[in-house]
Amino acid sequence: MYSIGIDIGGTNTDMGLVREDGTITERRRSKTNQYTDFSLFVKDLSQQIQSMIQVAHVGLSEVEGIGIGAPNGNFYTGCVEKAMNLSMHGVLNFAKEMSLYLPLPVVLSNDANAAAYGEYVYGGAKGMKNFIMITLGTGMGSGIVIDGRLLLGATGAAGELGHAIVVPNGRQCSCGLKGCAEAYVSSRGFKQTYSELRAEYDSLHKPSDENYHPGWIDHKRSLADIHPKDIGDAANAGDPLAIRTFEIMADYLGIALANAVAFSSPEAIFLMGGPTQVGEPLLRPLRKSFEQHLLYSFKGSCSIYKSQLEANDVAILGAAALIKMQ
């Protein structure tokens, strides 16, 4: 059997035809932001799905269904609602619109839930009944599987650990609240921490004191030109400010994860997204903060791992895995 995975992002929509073992046999990409008309967008996606099926010589009866991972995707309604980064607005009923073109079941959820389910069906969480997936990048998303089921809650939006408050009255978060984990852990928050550390360092040192080493970030470089990946590379080259930036991120993330363990007792937490590529500069202080804030009865019961799915595949596999939920 096969399934179709569609990952809807603000810029691109990626689609894939996925075999039972997690191999993506066909892929297509569509520019999400060129559409303002939702019906046209879904029509185009349906045509691309039909083309994938034809090219792969797969019969429609061999396709289990279509899974869609989308920002603000609601599992219960099959709709995307209030997605701020999409060029199409209003309530987008993917499940209904898609059924006009293809006689296949459609399951939709938010992208972090999809990532969690992808890890469960095809990745490192295979066989686990309790785990949490954390997606790091422009935001901090989370998908929580408890007792073998994805936690959806009353609204279908359960698992917003990024907006768990880790600092009362702390940094302003894009959601309107203050002190959310996301305000420290997202790429924007991470860059803000680096700028604050650098301003503090530069105010205490004269430029002539600068002890520059190859691979470190030159303080003459404008902050606007420094990306999270540069800070990651510098941390691996021993740059103390870059290392400290990761320590601060890890400290807040560790608090959010320890809190999550207190209510759901997972056996593992998986991390995916750009910042995880840096490896030890993030993972070492994260394990330390996590252990430090963890209730004694959970110590040693939950490990932190990087996602075992390929970065290029995870979004499509996650979406495709959603069809196994129904």
| C-beta closer to Zn ion: residue 45 or 173 | 173
Q: Which of 163, 231, 250, 254 binds Zn ion (CB under 5 A)?
A: 163
By the rule CB under 5 A, 173 interacts with Zn ion: yes
Distances (CA, A) of 21 to 16, 183, 321: 14, 37, 11
Structure-token pair, residue 203: 């105010």
Least distance (Å) from Zn ion to the CB of residue 180?
3
Least distance (Å) from Zn ion to the CB of residue 250?
19
Least distance (Å) from Zn ion to the CB of residue 275?
18
Q: Angle 270-253-163 (CA atoms, 0-180°, nearest 5)? A: 100
Query: β-strands 12-19, 268-272: how paired?
Result: unpaired
Backbone angles phi, psi at 261, to 5 degrees: -65, -35
Stretch that binds Zn ion, among 70-78, 105-113, 171-179, 245-253 (CB under 5 A): 171-179
By the rule CB under 5 A, 177 interacts with Zn ion: yes
By the rule CB under 5 A, 140 interacts with Zn ion: no
Q: Kindly report the number of other CB atoms within 10 A of residue 56's CB atom.
A: 14
SS3 helix, strand, coil % of the chain, rounded to 5? 45, 20, 35
Distance (Å, whole) CA 197 – CA 176: 24
DSSP reduced 3-state for 268: strand
Least distance (Å) from Zn ion to the CB of residue 320?
29
Stretch that binds Zn ion, among 58-66, 122-130, 161-169, 224-232 (CB under 5 A): 161-169
Q: Which of 60, 91, 175, 311 binds Zn ion (CB under 5 A)?
A: 175
Applying CB under 5 A, which residues contact Zn ion?
163, 173, 175, 177, 180
